[in-house]
Structure 1
Amino acid sequence: MNNSTEQFDVVVIGGGPAGATAANDLACQGKRVLIVERGFRIKPCGGAIPPAAIDAFDIPQSQLVARIKSARMISPKNKRVDMPIADSYVGMVDRKDFDPWLRARAASNGAEVRTGNFSQLKYLDSGEVLLTYRDKSPEQKEVSVLTRAVIGADGAKSKVGKQCVPGADKIKSVFAYHEIVKAPAADSSADYKPTRCDVWYQGRLSPDFYAWVFPHGDHASIGMGSAVKSFSATQSVRQLRADVGLTNAETVRREGAPIPLKPLKKWDDGRAVLLAGDAAGVVAPASGEGIFYAMLGGRLAADAVLQFLAHGDPAALRQARKRFMKEHGRVFWVLGLLQAFWYGSDKRREKFVHMCDDPDVQRLTWQSYTQKKLVRSEPMAHFRVFMKDMAQLLGIARA
């Protein structure tokens, strides 16, 4: 280190939805922020964003490549259940364009964005952090900067988390893989609709999660997720493409990455490092939804870091997880139980899709998803869903 070492208030490792949101919020508060984004990687993602996220994070309509008006659930026996979205929609983004836009917005508000790979960090006697990353030059030159706080938003296999936060190296995840293909023409015979998301609950396509066909405007995402390492993701997607008549659709790109499905018990190191997004494990079980929760996690991380910078008390960093779990912990718990039970076998998946045909289930599901909170205004609807769910569990109802 020398006297010319650059100094920042906050360094954010990872420029996806969590990191870029945190950096933008901090920059808007006048903090000097550096984003270190490794680049050259697009996360496999269905791209769904609920209206609650579009409003909360000022996402312009120009970033939406599709507006979804319904979902179709396909059971192991090929039962198809359509779930129309009444009086709302689900926005779809393409991460290839969406993530760079988020970083550009942060940059326009004062954050500095650089491409590089995080190497390590160490604490100095002054309490500052000396952070080192390798740039993307041919020489992969090591660059060191000084900072008062670090936000690790570098994905499910977070290098920041592994180095700094106990338990981060044991994060549970599924492997997600998808292929982006050119969408079929309107007069195509493919089983595809540009305003409908198709979710396949079939063990042959995923033994413990689900497969999907999600519209992306001129393109479509065809993918699957599974924690079973021996299961072939590429074979599954190949089969799904054949099932829906998209075998010959032009493939634009292929992507794969681990997706966490359970929030870590600790998001900070008790000193100056805080995790956000996939690094903190905030992808919803059962649904795999991550963009909204990543952006919320980034915002909460920014709030916590602002308090830390203002008062110097590392306890402020714990507020990010506390606030997140207070708002969404119950939803994650419910979805975790749903995935553990209903995704366990094709027999259970058949019953699960059958339940999705129920009007009460559909209405409450979409209200909770689009508004991003449990709907408490219809107690009788919740009771009816509970009783129908119990009938399925006990085998009283037929699938």
Structure 2
Amino acid sequence: MKFFLAAAFCLQASAFTLAPTPKLSTTSLDAYKVAVVGGGPAGACAAEVFAQEPNIETFMIERKFDNAKPCGGAIPLCMIGEFDLPETVVDRKVRRMKMISPIGNEVDIGDTLKPDEYIGMCRREILDGFLRDRAVEYGAKPINGLVTSIDIPSDHKENKDSQYTLHYQKFSPGTSVGTPESLAVDLIVGADGANSRVAKAMDAGEYNFAIAFQERIKISEEQMEFYEEMAEMYVGDDVSPDFYGWVFPKYDHVGVGTGTVVNRPAIKQYQKAIRERAGDKIEGGKIIKVEAHPIPEHPRPRRVQGRIALVGDAAGYVTKCSGEGIYFAAKSGRMAAESIVKLMQGGSRLPSQAEIEDTYIRDYDRAYGPTYAVLDILQKVFYSNNGAREAFVELCKSKYVQQVTFDSYLYKKVQGNNPLDDLKLLGETIGCLIKGYSIAKPDQAFSNPVESMKRI
């Protein structure tokens, strides 16, 4: 039962590392050059680490510096302190979560939270912008451009004198057509999302993916009052056959969305259903933005090739069941950069593929590999059919489940479990499953054998 509880509701421990006070860095003329491709949390957190080393010249290439990535936008409380984030990046502090089952049963959770605990809800354009600006303040050189191809020498794994050449379209303010340019560097960090050009160039392999679809909806002030500290999660095969639908509060609107891996062609049908399930709580709202984006479902087969390393979505660091990716993107970017900087010994040498794998990849997988594995299992168990979804919502009534779930999510470390409560939870789980299957409505059949085999 210990394993079940840890698998179901706990994330692995991670160390807290406070970012130092930003300061401009100076770069020596013979410095090694590092290109961080991508300016989201993964790329920005990697770039700020590299930029602080005087013998490393850091370039951060981002195609859209005002990018607003489609995303639910939830971040754990520990991320605020660990990444030295100002509370201004948080739009709403969610202290209540409403879970709604396929037949409409509702469970409110949040009673176990302390007064100063919350889930942060942010807009990615605000969070990402802050992290990018800080990396630039440290000394990273921003390039507004789209990487189109990368020249990789055939001997790049053995010859440390070889360089990688990035070809990109550089954009200037007010122009829609880029200017072709190139940049030779000694090391690359790919933080350019699920459709990573870096991953393709280094032959990182393909992975299965979900499509996340979200509409930002402006609702009335009276309706927003309901979502002041409230977020909602809807489960049911009408909103997603393998995930959940959500209503997450933002600064002056709500994000309403859903996602799926197994039936991507029907994503707009599921989006329509989540709007209908939310009902009068968002009725009359104005859609101010429509967003859709692929989300990786598991790590890439290869995340390091030579002196090229992947982080964030490019590496496949999104958890199943919860769909969390922001924290793990930022964490992987920082861990990769810190490992590589240490291996470079003050910018005096370049690391090998084996050295990067034996530090960054090893440490990340040890810390979070079990989390991805067990949440994969949980998604298959609790999101596989309406009976299991009914049981999942019913199980959330347990204060013990709520306590362990929130503690593990907010702090990214396993909280001490109580053996007696574990045993009690086993009985509750069996009872919830029996009840769930007895009251559940049948799942609708679907088939997409060709599209379901697509990988990126």
**Farther off after superposition, 111-120 or 312-321:** 312-321
* 8 Å CA contact retained: 1:285, 1:336: yes
Q: What is the rounded CA distance, in whole Å, between the counterparts of 1:166 and 1:109 in structure 2?
A: 30
Partner of 1:3: none
Given candidates 5, 8, 12, the residue that maps to 2:36 is 12
* 8 Å CA contact retained: 1:7, 1:145: no
- 1:206-225 correspondence runs (5 A): 206-225=240-259
- 1:1-399 correspondence runs (5 A): 9-30=33-54, 31-39=56-64, 41-84=67-110, 85-87=112-114, 88-124=117-153, 126-137=161-172, 138-167=176-205, 170-186=206-222, 188=223, 192-229=226-263, 231-244=265-278, 245=280, 246-269=282-305, 271-310=306-345, 311-314=349-352, 315-318=354-357, 319-392=359-432
What SS class does the counterpart of residue 188 from structure 2 fall into? strand
* 8 Å CA contact retained: 1:7, 1:146: no
Paired AA for residue 380 in structure 2: A
**Farther off after superposition, 88-97 or 119-128:** 119-128
Higher RCO (C-alpha under 8 Å, 6+ residues apart): 2
**Farther off after superposition, 379-388 or 326-335:** 379-388
Change (3 A) 1:119 1:7: farther
1:202-233 per-residue CA deviation (whole Å, 9 max, x = no partner) reads 11111111100001121110000011345433
Paired AA for residue 113 in structure 1: P
Paired AA for residue 56 in structure 1: E
Q: What is the rounded CA distance, in whole Å, between the counterparts of 2:163 and 2:85 in structure 1?
A: 34
1:259-283 per-residue CA deviation (whole Å, 9 max, x = no partner) reads 11222343101x1100000011111
Q: What is the rounded CA distance, in whole Å, between the counterparts of 1:121 and 1:285 in structure 2?
A: 31
Paired AA for residue 70 in structure 1: R
Q: What is the rounded CA distance, in whole Å, between the counterparts of 1:53 and 1:103 in structure 2?
A: 16
> Offset at 1:119?
1.8
- Structure 1 runs of 4+ aligned residues shifted over 6 Å read 394-399
Q: What TM-score comes out, normalization by structure 1 length? A: 0.91
Q: What is the rounded CA distance, in whole Å, between the counterparts of 1:396 and 1:147 in structure 2?
A: 57
* 8 Å CA contact retained: 1:69, 1:89: yes
Count of aligned pairs: 389
Q: What is the rounded CA distance, in whole Å, between the counterparts of 1:152 and 1:145 in structure 2?
A: 15
* 8 Å CA contact retained: 2:258, 2:274: no
* 8 Å CA contact retained: 1:156, 1:171: no
* 8 Å CA contact retained: 1:392, 1:398: no
* 8 Å CA contact retained: 2:102, 2:237: yes
1:328-352 per-residue CA deviation (whole Å, 9 max, x = no partner) reads 2222211110101211111111111
What SS class does the counterpart of residue 304 from structure 2 fall into? coil
Paired AA for residue 209 in structure 1: F
* 8 Å CA contact retained: 2:219, 2:284: no
Q: What is the rounded CA distance, in whole Å, between the counterparts of 1:365 and 1:257 in structure 2?
A: 27
> Offset at 1:397?
9.5
**Farther off after superposition, 371-380 or 317-326:** 371-380
> Offset at 1:243?
3.2
What SS class does the counterpart of residue 384 from structure 1 fall into? helix
Paired AA for residue 219 in structure 1: H
- 5+ unaligned residues in a row in structure 1: which ranges? 1-5
1:114-160 per-residue CA deviation (whole Å, 9 max, x = no partner) reads 11111222245632222221112555222111211100011112111
Q: What is the rounded CA distance, in whole Å, between the counterparts of 1:300 and 1:206 in structure 2?
A: 33
**Farther off after superposition, 325-334 or 288-297:** 325-334
Q: What TM-score comes out, normalization by structure 2 length? A: 0.80
1:52-76 per-residue CA deviation (whole Å, 9 max, x = no partner) reads 1111101101111000001111100
* 8 Å CA contact retained: 1:176, 1:224: yes
**Farther off after superposition, 379-388 or 258-267:** 379-388
Q: What is the rounded CA distance, in whole Å, between the counterparts of 1:329 and 1:388 in structure 2?
A: 28
What SS class does the counterpart of residue 232 from structure 1 fall into? helix
* 8 Å CA contact retained: 1:266, 1:321: no
* 8 Å CA contact retained: 2:387, 2:433: no
Pairwise CA RMSD: 2.3
What SS class does the counterpart of residue 409 from structure 2 fall into? helix
**Farther off after superposition, 40-49 or 8-17:** 40-49
Identity %: 31
What SS class does the counterpart of residue 20 from structure 1 fall into? helix
> Offset at 1:321?
2.1
Q: What is the rounded CA distance, in whole Å, between the counterparts of 2:339 and 2:208 in structure 1?
A: 25
